[in-house]
Amino acid sequence: MKKAKLSANAKAALTSALYPLFSLALIVSLWAMTAARTGNDLLIPSVGSTFDELGVLLSKKETYVDVAATLLRAARGFALSFAVALLLAVVAAFLRPVAKLLSPVIAVMRSTPTMSVILLSLIWFNENLQFAPVLVTVLIIFPLLYSSFYTALTGVDKKLTDMAKVYKVPWLTRLVKLYVPSMLPTVFSSVRSTLSLTVKLTIAAEVLAQTKNSMGMDMQLANLYLDTPTLIAWTLIAIVLGAALEAIVYAVGRLCMRWKNA
């Protein structure tokens, strides 16, 4: 029985792994056919020329310096967004007037076009453009995380919260023993979905701000020189970074869920 169960699990895992590989092969095949039909590397470079440029980039020390700098800016913006969103969500969940005050602010922030936020940040921080990508990340990511955290906190089973009040469980104990375990799935889901978005926003802000030592600046230079293979190579690096960050958060989330249920 156990062998049959292991065999079924192995087949399910293999099937799950094959679907992404099949999708990737389909995308590469369509890319190769389109490039061959176009016959113009300026418009759609071939798969070979793009990966040649990718190999050149990966062989340069400057590439890793720029990637690290971009990731550091993204991490700063995300960490600040996460901390402020979690703090305000906790306060709003326990103090209804705060939630009502923040509601229209969050709605406005979520409705503001991303490009407007980027352009305004460039105006406000014209003398310190290194900070612009961080500000853009905070203004876009913060309302998304706040909404998720607040919904998770207010969605905790009311019977459990009422019972905790009846037995006069201390506020801190309620937070750690009741709210945190209930929030964990939402927290990891929100972090996973917003991390890759954070990287994209940071790169977009770097392009417009022409931030030195950044992936955005490298993409901008490739665009100015009409070097499409290099531009796509940098795009592939950004995609891999976003996917890797999501995979790490997913793995950590699985471990935390096992620990919580143990």
Identify the CATH number of the domain in which residue 178 sits: 1.10.3720.10
Q: What is the model's pLDDT at position 93?
A: 84
Asked whether residue 10 falls in the same domain as residue 114, the answer is no
Q: State yes or no: pLDDT of 16 exceeds 80.
A: no
Asked whether residue 54 falls in the same domain as residue 180, the answer is yes
Q: What is the model's pLDDT at position 193?
A: 84
- Asked if 195 and 205 touch (Cβ cutoff 8 Å), the reply is no
Q: What is the model's pLDDT at position 113?
A: 85
Q: What is the dihedral of CA 206, 223, 47, 54, to 10 degrees?
A: -50
Asked whether residue 34 falls in the same domain as residue 49, the answer is no
Asked whether residue 155 falls in the same domain as residue 93, the answer is yes
For residue 256, count other CB atoms closer than 10 A to its CB.
15
- Asked if 229 and 40 touch (Cβ cutoff 8 Å), the reply is no
Q: What is the model's pLDDT at position 11?
A: 66
Instruction: State how far the Cα of 252 lies from the Cα of 16, in Å rounded to an integer.
Output: 19
Range of the domain at 21: 1-38
Structure tokens at 48: 């070979």
Q: State yes or no: pLDDT of 95 exceeds 70.
A: yes
Q: Is the dihedral of CA 84, 90, 93, 96 positive or negative?
A: negative
Number of domains in the chain: 2
Q: State yes or no: pLDDT of 2 exceeds 60.
A: no
- Mean pLDDT, the chain, rounded, equals 83
Asked whether residue 2 falls in the same domain as residue 131, the answer is no
Asked whether residue 25 falls in the same domain as residue 60, the answer is no
Q: What is the model's pLDDT at position 34?
A: 87
The mean pLDDT value for 55-81 works out to: 93
Q: State the pTM of this model.
A: 0.83
For residue 102, count other CB atoms closer than 10 A to its CB.
18
- Could you say which DSSP state residue 131 is in? G
Q: What is the model's pLDDT at position 120?
A: 83
**Percent helix / strand / coil, the chain, rounded to 5:** 85, 0, 15
Q: What is the model's pLDDT at position 260?
A: 58
Q: How many CA atoms lie within 13 A of 38 on its CB side?
A: 14
* Coil/strand/helix, residue 171: helix
In angstroms, what CA-CA distances link 188 with 74, 156, 255, 256, 261? 17, 16, 11, 10, 16
Q: State yes or no: pLDDT of 96 exceeds 70.
A: yes
Q: State yes or no: pLDDT of 3 exceeds 60.
A: no
**The amino acid at 203:** I
Asked whether residue 189 falls in the same domain as residue 148, the answer is yes
Asked whether residue 18 falls in the same domain as residue 50, the answer is no
- Better-predicted residue by pLDDT, 160 or 232: 232
The mean pLDDT value for 149-158 works out to: 80
The whole-angstrom distance between residue 14's C-alpha and the CA centroid of its chain comes to: 27
Asked whether residue 163 falls in the same domain as residue 48, the answer is yes
Q: State yes or no: pLDDT of 150 exceeds 70.
A: yes
| Alpha helices, DSSP H, located in 39-95 | 47-58, 61-94
- Asked if 132 and 125 touch (Cβ cutoff 8 Å), the reply is yes
**With pLDDT > 70 as the criterion, what percentage of the chain qualifies?**
86
Backbone angles phi, psi at 99, to 5 degrees: -60, -40
Q: State yes or no: pLDDT of 168 exceeds 60.
A: yes
The mean pLDDT value for 15-22 works out to: 74
Asked whether residue 157 falls in the same domain as residue 215, the answer is yes
Asked whether residue 186 falls in the same domain as residue 151, the answer is yes
The mean pLDDT value for 65-70 works out to: 94
Q: Tell me: the pLDDT tens digits for 202-223?
A: 999 888 888 888 999 999 999 9
Asked whether residue 8 falls in the same domain as residue 128, the answer is no
